[in-house]
Structures are given as C-alpha cells and as structure tokens.
Amino acid sequence: MVSLVLTCLLKVLLMLIWLFVLLSNLCLTILYRCYPQFF
C-alpha cells in the first residue's frame, strides 16, 4: 500500500518537473524572440 502511494507521488512529481521544464523552455524561447539584445 505504501509503495503504491509512493509510486503515485513519484509520477506526479515527475509530471510537475516535466511541466516546469516545458514552461521554462517556452518562456526562454519567447524572451529570446522578443528581446534578442539580451542574448
């Protein structure tokens, strides 16, 4: 039972990290497009 909950939590954590990475990449891309003088 405990291992099942841990596995579920791990999956949720991985999904959150993945979403965060995607969002930060998107933000960086937008910044790069809009403000190329900073790069």
Q: What is the pLDDT of residues 6-38, one digit of tens each?
A: 999 999 999 999 999 999 999 999 988 988 776
For residue 14, the enclosing domain spans 2-38
Supply the pLDDT for residue 1. Answer: 76
DSSP letter, residue 1: -
Overall domain count for the chain: 1
pTM: 0.65
Supply the pLDDT for residue 35. Answer: 85
Beta carbons of 38 and 31 less than 8 angstroms apart? yes
Supply the pLDDT for residue 12. Answer: 98
Supply the pLDDT for residue 39. Answer: 60
Question: What phi and psi, each to the nearest 5 degrees, are found at residue 7?
Answer: -65, -40
